[in-house]
Amino acid sequence: MYSGALMRRGPYISMITNRTMNLLIRAAMLFMVGVFLALVLNLLQVQRNVTLFPPDVLSSVFSSAWWVPPCCGTAAALIGLLYPCMDRRLGEPHKLKREWSNVMRCVAVFVGINHASAKVDFANNVQLSLTLAALSVGLWWTFDRSRSGFGLGVVIAILATLATQLLVYNGVFQYTSPDFLYIRSWLPCIFFAGVITVGNIGRQLALYEYKVNQEKTHQD
């Protein structure tokens, strides 16, 4: 059935098998995912500090620091491409439950972590940090479980936090919240969870290319 479908390989399939094309498509999808998540999560964070929204809150969200969502999108694209690439290099393919439903679950948990960080009142920042860290590691354990994924996630999280801090110190970007410590305790864990999530999506997307290529070599 499978091979039969591939025998009649349409333009779509051939487009997907084209390597650069495939890469571009994946990058574009990841970019969109990143932008979307950045917008939504930004909204969640804004919500924490503003009690009531003026009707034009949406426009303000879109206008202030307009470059943040594209940056997140680019980062998502990079990370999402990096993960399968790293898997291939290391030669240890990601084996754990590679299904879209699982990816969706992962995204939902990620949004949930953000939601919790935005909505739940914590006693202090240490508690917030610890909780978020536990949740993030739980996310990794549930959906990734690869050492490489963990390492990359930690590295990227640290780098991203540093970059954000630099930006803030240089005044390019500022937090909506006056509570600086709160943000700092919140940021690395969210970055880590985000990296894991985006990596998961990227791997799942790469699976298509892998599958198609496999079929191709099989046919050849």
Partner 1 sequence: MTVRERIRQNISAAFYRHGLLCASYPVPIILFTSASILTCCYPLLKLPLPGTGPVEFTTGVRDYSTPSHESQGDLSERPDWYRGPPVAYIQQVLVKAAVSPWDNSLVPVDVFRSPLGRVFSVLEEIRNHVYTDRSLEALCLQVTDLLPGLRRMQAVLPEHGCLLVSPGNYWQNRRDLFDADPDLLKTVHQHEPKGLHTSATLKDLLFGVPGKQTGVNLYSKKRVVTYTITIALSSYDARFVASLRARLKQLHPSANCTLREDHMVHVHFKEEIGIAELIPLVTTYIILFAYIYFSTRKIDMVKSKWGLALAAVVTVLSSLLMSVGLCTLFGLTPTLNGGEIFPYLVVVIGLENVLVLTKSVVSTPVDLEVKLRIAQGLSNESWSIMKNMATELCIILIGYFTFVPAIQEFCLFAVVGLVSDFFLQMFFFTTVLSIDIRRMELADLNRRLPAEAGMPPPKPGPLRPRETPPPPRPSPHTITLQAPAFRNLRLPKRLRVVYFLARTRLAQRIIMVGTVIWIGILVYTDPAGLRTFLAAQVSEQSPLGEAGLPPHLGVAPVFPGGDPTSTLSGLPAPEPTPLPENQSQGHRAAHPEVAPVSSPQITWGPEDEELWRRLSFRHWPSLFSYYNITLAKRYISILPVIPVTLHLSPQEAIDTRHPQDTHHAPPPIPIPGGGWTGISRETCFAGAHARMVAALGLFAGVVLVLLLFCLYRVLCPRNYGQNGVPHGRRRRGDLPCDEYGYSPPISEISPLLLRGHSMDIECLASDGMLLASCCLVGHIRVWDAQTGDCLTVIPNNGGCWEHRDGWDHISACEAESLLGADFREPGGGAVGGQDVDIFPIRRRTTPARPALFGDQPDLTPLIDTNFGLSPPSQALSSSGFDFGGLVEKAYQEHEPSPTLAFPPSPPASQQRRRSLGDQPVLPPELPPQNNGDWDSSVWAMELRGNLIATGRSSGKLELWDAVEGSLRCSNEDGVSGITALAFLNNRIVAARLNGSLDFFTVEITKPLGLLQYRGRGSLPPSPCYSSEDVISCQLTRSVQCAHQKPITVLKAAAGRVVTGSQDHTVRVYRLEDSCCLFTLQGHSGGITAIYIDQTMVLASGGQDGTICVWDVLTGSRVSHVYGHRGDVTSLVCTTSCIISSGLDDLICIWDRSTGIKLYSIQQEVGCGASLGVISESLLVTGGQGCVSFWDLNYGDLLQTVYLGQSSEGQSVRQLLVLDNAAIVCDFGSELSLVYVPSVLEKLD
Binding site residues, partner 1, CB under 8 A: 1-2, 36, 40-41, 43-44, 46-47, 51-58, 61, 95, 99-101, 103-105, 107-109, 111-112, 115-116, 119-123, 127, 130-131, 134-135, 138, 141-142
When the beta carbons of 132 and 152 are compared against partner 1, the nearer one is: 132
Closest approach, Cβ 132 to partner 1, in A, equals: 10
CB of 105 to partner 1, least distance (A): 5
Nearer to partner 1, 7 or 89 (CB): 7
Q: CB of residue 122 vs partner 1: minimum separation in angstroms?
A: 6
First to last CA, the chain: 18
User: What is the token pair recorded at 103?
Assistant: 């990816």
Q: Rounded distance, CA 195 to CA 72, Å?
A: 11
Instruction: Give the containing element (helix H, strand E) for 161.
Output: helix 147-169
Quick check: 15 and 21 in contact, CB under 8 A? yes
Compute the least distance from the CB of residue 220 to partner 1, in Å: 15
Q: Indicate the residue among 58 and 172 with the shorter CB distance to partner 1.
A: 58
Answer for the pair 81, 26: CB distance below 8 angstroms, yes or no: yes
**Cβ-based nearer residue to partner 1, 118 or 168:** 118
Side chain identity at 130, as an amino acid letter? Answer: L
Residue whose C-alpha is closest to residue 102's, from 201, 195, 28: 201
CB 196 within 8 A of CB 136: yes
Q: Which of 73, 61, 62, 75 is nearest to 35 (CA)?
A: 73
Cβ proximity to partner 1: between 19 and 147 the closer is 147
Nearer to partner 1, 46 or 154 (CB): 46
**Least CB distance from residue 171 to partner 1, whole Å?**
25
Would you put residue 171 in left (φ > 0), alpha (ψ -120 to 50) or beta?
left
Question: Smallest distance, Å, CB 101 to partner 1?
Answer: 4
At 124 the three-state DSSP class reads: coil
